[in-house]
Amino acid sequence: MSGILILEQTLNGLQFGLMLFLLAAGLTLVFGIMDMINLAHGSLYMIGAYLMAAIAQATGSFWVALPLAVIATAIVGMLLEIALLRRLYQRDHLTQVLATFAVILISNEVIRLIFGPQPVMLNAPPALSGPVELLPGLSYSSYRLLIIGVGLAVAVLLYFLVAKTRTGMLVRAGASNREMATAMGVNIKALFTVVFGVGAALCAIAGAMLGPILAVQVGMGESILILAFVVIVIGGIGSIRGALVGALLVGLVDTIGRAFLPMLFREFLPPTYASNLGPAVASILIYLLMAVVLFWKPQGLFPARG
């Protein structure tokens, strides 16, 4: 096991974790402020990736398409909030789960109707298609480095937005005590439409950035949605900081576990057990992590409510 390999996998984990953070940040705010389980968050991620692919194909430029796709997805998200989700805030969690599950079914089929059942191509910008040499012996995909850069930039931006601006203050107030914030005169309704738009935009960034690495296809939102939920439960619902820590933890644990656990198991166990047990344990590692965190800290690592 060489140091280069470990470093490479750590970068992969960082990249994955930062993209998870973009998804989890929006989800945790929606969850924290309105106490609303939104399964359709993954659909916004899918819609973002599809819009990105369509616009990139039409304009021929990755960089023109990115902001357009992000803005378009934010609009879709806000429309969804105004048309439907707003009606669900006062309902119980079960209703929210099922209604947003219905939104998943509907949006999957609408996307399939428009774009067809085949995965859509989305290419990385040509300038970033090759690897760069980070250290002697370690060459790393330049596009993945870009993802890490974008993820970090958005995380910093989000931190300033939430921690330093008036809107951010209202968001934090809403997350820690919704009734009190309303009583103090915060227009939660409008605030929430904005938060939802921002969440959708973050989804679109993640979808657009991951599009060239993963396949842009119907159902892409479902698998990553569950991971985003794991992240916010670990981090503490409503906490952006928790989402960041949780996302990096999940990204690193998952990536490094998949890379090294099978190897580790081969050292100690007979090969027949190791070949089965390695991948099995690696894929359930993050869920174990979540169960352990919930067991010891039922409110997550950084509870938003005091």
Partner 1 sequence: MTHRIFAIVALVVLAALPPALLASDQDFYISFASRIMIYGIAATSLNLILGYGGMISFGHAAFLGAGAYVVGIMMAEGVSSAWIAWPAAVVLSGLFALVIGALSLRTRGVYFIMITLAFAQMMYYVFISLKEYGGEDGLNLPTRSVVGLGLNLKDDTTFYYVVLALFAATLFGLHRLVNSRFGRVIAGIRENETRMEAIGFPTYKYKLACFVIAGAVCGLAGALISNQANFVSPKLIEWTQSGSLMIMVILGGIGQLYGGAVGAAVLLILEEVLSAYTIYWQLPVGIALLAVVLFAPRGIAGAFTRKPK
> Can residue 20 be called a binding residue for partner 1 (CB under 8 A)?
no
Told to check if 276 binds partner 1 by CB under 8 A, we report: yes
183 binds partner 1 (CB under 8 A): no
98 forms part of the interface with partner 1 (CB under 8 A) = yes
Beta-carbon contacts of residue 237 (< 8 Å; ≥ 6 apart): 28, 31, 32, 299, 300, 303, 304
User: Of 4 and 264, which CB lies nearer to partner 1 in the complex structure?
Assistant: 264
Residues 42 and 97 sit within 8 Å (Cβ to Cβ):
no
- CA proximity to 226, closest of 286, 158, 151: 286
d(C-alpha 275, C-alpha 282), whole Å: 11
- The residue from 67, 125, 131, 279 that contacts partner 1 (CB under 8 A) is 279
Binding characters for partner 1, 110-149, by CB under 8 A (x = yes): x-xx------------------------------------
Q: Is residue 237 a contact residue for partner 1 (CB under 8 A)? A: yes
- 104 is an interface residue for partner 1 by CB under 8 A: yes
Residue number with CB closer to partner 1 (12 or 107):
107
Quote the least distance from Cβ 68 to partner 1, whole Å: 27
Task: Decide: is 260 part of the binding site for partner 1 (CB under 8 A).
Answer: no
Residue placing its CB nearer to partner 1 in the complex, 52 or 228: 228
Determine which residue in the list 4, 71, 97, 256 makes contact with partner 1, applying CB under 8 A: 97
CB 66 within 8 A of CB 51: no
Exactly one of 157, 184, 287, 305 binds partner 1 (CB under 8 A); that residue is: 287
* Residue 31 touches partner 1, criterion: CB under 8 A: yes
Binding site for partner 1 (CB under 8 A): 31, 35, 37, 84, 87, 93-95, 97-99, 101-106, 108-110, 112-113, 222, 226, 229-230, 233, 237, 275-277, 279-280, 283-284, 287-288, 290-291, 294-295, 298
